[in-house]
């Protein structure tokens, strides 16, 4: 998969060897999440992808299925005894909100966007382990991707490697249609604006979705990149159409179909607000105010790559 979750990244950081199967080291990470000292075996059907953006110590041209079968057979032939621990390391490297970085428990208001994602992930971990999880938006999807841990296959749906934000509503309807499980739709305020009226479709179809908006009143990913790359220009000319300030009361939209809506500024009130939305049983919106200055690890890495001297705030 091209979208990495929190547990995946921790595993990569500790890996001696990474086998990349069918992955294109594209703009989502350029392979930067793999330490320079880690050996890389890259398997891809397209020879042009071998070593693209990230050098491969060994390149194999072929399909992932046949290659995986051959690798498994080779490993089994050499294995003498069972490993002392699981394939991805010690227990403390696995997922779960207790192992999230400090930013996911940050205090203060406007709250850190990681804290918003962390609270939502804690609700899912404790009360919604079987829910469908839809992550939409730029920075919002990155933070929720880090916070989320799947308990079953096909549980977490991301925007994908093309960065096509606004896909959340379609994924909500599709996920619910597939298994009729409740849906948590996590999105940014910019991405919400694309197809927000699809919530009316959800209401008509009786889809029990709780939409949590990580609302920084801006196109955060673009705004933060502009701040880091063109600070003097931003200082003198301001931003170009990325600010959505003041905070929009998107939670009022749900009154149209008698859903539950609430604006939250206190991180300790996110989970209680979600519970109230769940009790309503109709498509609901929890509109959470977050700060517009905290940079996600993905954007921090991107900025460091294109401008090494950058001193932007990193989470």
Report whether pLDDT(269) > 80. Answer: yes
Low-confidence winner among 8-12, 217-221, 260-264 (lowest mean pLDDT): 8-12
For position 87, what pLDDT does the model report? 53
Q: What is the DSSP string of 152-171?
A: STT-EE---TT--TT-HHHH
Report whether pLDDT(12) > 90. Answer: no
Report whether pLDDT(241) > 90. Answer: no
Distance CA 207, CA 223 (A): 33
Indicate the burial class of 288 (C-beta count within 10 angstroms; 0-12, 13-18, 19 or more). Answer: buried
For position 8, what pLDDT does the model report? 58
Share of the chain above pLDDT 70, in %: 86
Distance CA 298, CA 113 (A): 14
For position 92, what pLDDT does the model report? 46
CA distances from 75 to 56, 69, 70, 78, 146 (A): 20, 10, 9, 5, 31
Average pLDDT over residues 180-207: 96
- Residues 111/289, Cβ–Cβ less than 8 Å: yes
**Summary mean pLDDT of the chain:** 87
Q: Which residues, in sequence order, are CB contacts of 55 under 8 Å at separation 6+?
A: 40
Average pLDDT over residues 257-272: 97
Indicate the burial class of 51 (C-beta count within 10 angstroms; 0-12, 13-18, 19 or more). Answer: middle
For position 213, what pLDDT does the model report? 98
- Residues 254/173, Cβ–Cβ less than 8 Å: no
For position 29, what pLDDT does the model report? 64
The position carrying tokens 């896909």 is 167
Low-confidence winner among 107-111, 130-134, 208-212, 299-303 (lowest mean pLDDT): 299-303
For position 163, what pLDDT does the model report? 74
Here the tokens at position 299 are: 């954007």
Share of the chain above pLDDT 90, in %: 61
Distance CA 176, CA 207 (A): 7
- pLDDT tens readout for residues 128-171: 999 999 999 999 999 998 899 899 999 999 887 677 899 999 99
Report whether pLDDT(90) > 60. Answer: no
pLDDT band at 1 (very low <50, low <70, confident <90, very high): very low
* Residue predicted with more confidence, 314 or 30: 30
Report whether pLDDT(262) > 90. Answer: yes
- Residues 212/274, Cβ–Cβ less than 8 Å: yes
- pLDDT tens readout for residues 214-224: 999 999 999 98
For the beta carbon of residue 272, count every other beta carbon within 10 angstroms.
14
- Give me Rg for the CA atoms of the chain: 21
Average pLDDT over residues 175-183: 97
For the beta carbon of residue 289, count every other beta carbon within 10 angstroms.
20
């Amino acid at each position: 998969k091209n979208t990495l979750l929190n547990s995946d990244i921790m595993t990569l950081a500790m890996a001696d060897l990474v086998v990349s199967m069918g992955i294109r080291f594209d703009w989502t990470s350029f392979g930067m999440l793999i330490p320079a000292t880690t050996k890389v075996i890259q398997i891809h059907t397209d020879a042009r992808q071998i070593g693209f953006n990230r050098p491969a110590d060994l390149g194999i041209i072929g399909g992932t299925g046949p290659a995986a079968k051959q690798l498994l057979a080779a490993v089994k032939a050499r294995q003498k005894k069972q490993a002392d621990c699981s394939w991805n390391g010690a227990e403390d490297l696995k997922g779960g909100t207790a192992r999230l970085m400090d930013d996911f428990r940050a205090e203060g208001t406007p709250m850190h966007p990681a804290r918003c994602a962390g609270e939502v992930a804690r609700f899912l971990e404790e009360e919604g382990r079987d829910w469908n999880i839809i992550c939409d938006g730029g920075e919002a999807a990155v933070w929720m991707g880090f916070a989320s841990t799947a308990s079953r296959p096909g549980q977490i749906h991301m925007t994908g490697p093309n960065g096509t934000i606004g896909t959340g509503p379609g994924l909500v309807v599709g996920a619910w249609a597939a298994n009729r499980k409740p849906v948590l739709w996590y999105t940014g305020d910019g991405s919400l604006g694309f197809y927000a009226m699809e919530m009316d479709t959800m209401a008509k179809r009786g889809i029990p979705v709780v939409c949590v908006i990580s609302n920084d009143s801006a196109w955060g990913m673009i705004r933060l990149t502009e701040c880091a790359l063109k600070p003097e220009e931003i200082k003198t000319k301001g931003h170009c159409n990325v600010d959505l300030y003041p905070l929009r009361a998107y939670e009022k939209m749900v009154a149209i179909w008698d859903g539950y809506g609430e604006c939250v500024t206190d991180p300790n009130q996110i989970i209680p607000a979600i519970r109230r939305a769940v009790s309503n049983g109709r498509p609901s919106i929890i509109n959470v105010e977050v700060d517009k200055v905290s940079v996600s690890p993905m954007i921090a890495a991107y900025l460091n790559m294109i401008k090494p001297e950058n001193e932007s705030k990193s989470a």
